[in-house]
Amino acid sequence: MAATNTANDQHEKLFLIEKALETGRNIAIIGPHGIGKTQAVRAIIREKLPQYKMVYVSLAQMSKDDLLVPMPVEKHGRKMVQYLPLEIFDDMCEDGIRRPIILVMDEFNRNISDPQLYNALLEFMSVGTLAGVPLNIHCFVALMNPNDDDTYFNTSELEAPVIDRFDLFVPVDQYDLGADMYLLNKYEEAGGVIEWYLSLPADLKKEVPPRRQEKVIVNWRNGMGVYYSFPRTSSLPLTQLEQILSGGNIWTLKRLISQPQAAAEEIRQRPAMLPLFVALLRLISATADARKVKPLLKELPPYVLQGLGRYSYMWSKVISELAEELKGHKARPIEL
């Protein structure tokens, strides 16, 4: 899977996933460990789709007995055994209301070797029943990891009948699901860690997913050196990371709003910092603050401005104002 984290489509995959869940589409989200796949789905359901109940299971730890339970019953004067779904498929919520289930299956491509488990998955993916028992399933989400070479999403080969049950396949990487905004909103040091991450060569970036970045920040706050946040065999430039965190000149939302000219110069000198500034801009919620950063907006490529304009009405308005101000001036054209 090629890297997908660009300032152009950054975070728009969140919108795609939300629409898939809302409309009941079966979706496969494919990306490396530690980038926030589970948390992104959980947040969407909690904040945007509370009419559904999220049920999370890890397929890597499941067996057929987790899905099919033999229950002795009597029917027509005969003792029989029938198979019923376990409580994980119970659609009753804590408030006593039944809600359709969005079933999230993690590690989906790591363990479907058991024929009975495989057939059970096919059944509820196809017709929404399990052992013939109807389930109140709205849709299901499969979370998968790519191969080490990033060329294909199966670490354990999935057969065509399973693949055919998915409506959407969404490859995600690092900050596609908003992990950068989460970190920047929660930790002042996040800008420094993300700056360091963006400077790494592609082969080393895989060693520092957002989950690891948060561990680095928390350890640093607790007075533990960055060296202890990684395996001793790590080839990462950790001295550089420590220098950035110790320097105190980290880009935060407050600094961006107060020093937009400096941010503009930073983009001119270091274009690789673009994703960091895009994430910081998305954290701005007040129109007055958005207008203060117009010097930085002038340095952004048109496609980035288009993405900001689609992100919120506030940004669309501020970017339109900037376009009017630049009419007749020799400056990079802004396409709306």
Q: What is the pLDDT of residues 79-113, one digit of tens each?
A: 887 776 677 788 888 888 999 999 998 988 776 66
Matching residue, tokens 């060329």: 151
Q: Print burial letters for 103-129: b (CB count within 10 Å at least 16), e (below 16).
A: bbbbbbbbbbeeeebbebbbbbbeeee
**pLDDT exceeds cutoff 70 at 329:** no
**pLDDT exceeds cutoff 50 at 152:** no
pLDDT, average across residues 157-162: 76
**Where is average pLDDT lowest: 124-128, 271-275, 315-319?**
124-128
Q: What is the pLDDT of residue 148?
A: 64
Across the chain, which distance is largest between two alpha carbons, in Å?
90
Q: What is the pLDDT of residues 14-24, one digit of tens each?
A: 889 999 999 99
Q: What is the pLDDT of residues 191-210, one digit of tens each?
A: 999 999 999 998 899 899 99
Matching residue, tokens 């990306």: 31
DSSP result, 227-281? GGGS-TT--S-HHHHHHHHHH-----HHHHHH-HHHHHHHHHH-GGGHHHHHHHH
Q: What is the pLDDT of residue 11?
A: 67
**pLDDT exceeds cutoff 80 at 213:** yes
Cα–Cα distance for residue pair 179/14, rounded to 1 Å? 11
Q: How confident is the model at residue 312 (pLDDT cuts 50, 70, 90)?
A: confident
**pLDDT exceeds cutoff 90 at 27:** yes
**3-class DSSP state for residue 78?**
strand
Burial category of 250 from C-beta neighbours within 10 Å (exposed 0-12, middle 13-18, buried 19 and up): middle
**Average pLDDT taken over every residue of the chain:** 85
Q: What is the pLDDT of residue 85?
A: 66
Q: What is the pLDDT of residue 59?
A: 78
Q: How confident is the model at residue 3 (pLDDT cuts 50, 70, 90)?
A: very low
Q: How far is CA 143 from the centre of its chain?
A: 11
Cα–Cα distance for residue pair 132/73, rounded to 1 Å? 16
Q: Which residue has the higher pLDDT, 219 or 130?
A: 219
Q: What is the pTM of this model?
A: 0.81
Instruction: DSSP letter for 87, please.
Output: G
Q: Which residue has the higher pLDDT, 246 or 83?
A: 246
Q: Which domains does the chain have, with CATH numbers?
A: 12-171 (3.40.50.300), 179-325 (no CATH)
Q: What is the pLDDT of residues 42-69, one digit of tens each?
A: 999 999 999 999 999 887 777 777 777 7
Q: How confident is the model at residue 292 (pLDDT cuts 50, 70, 90)?
A: very high
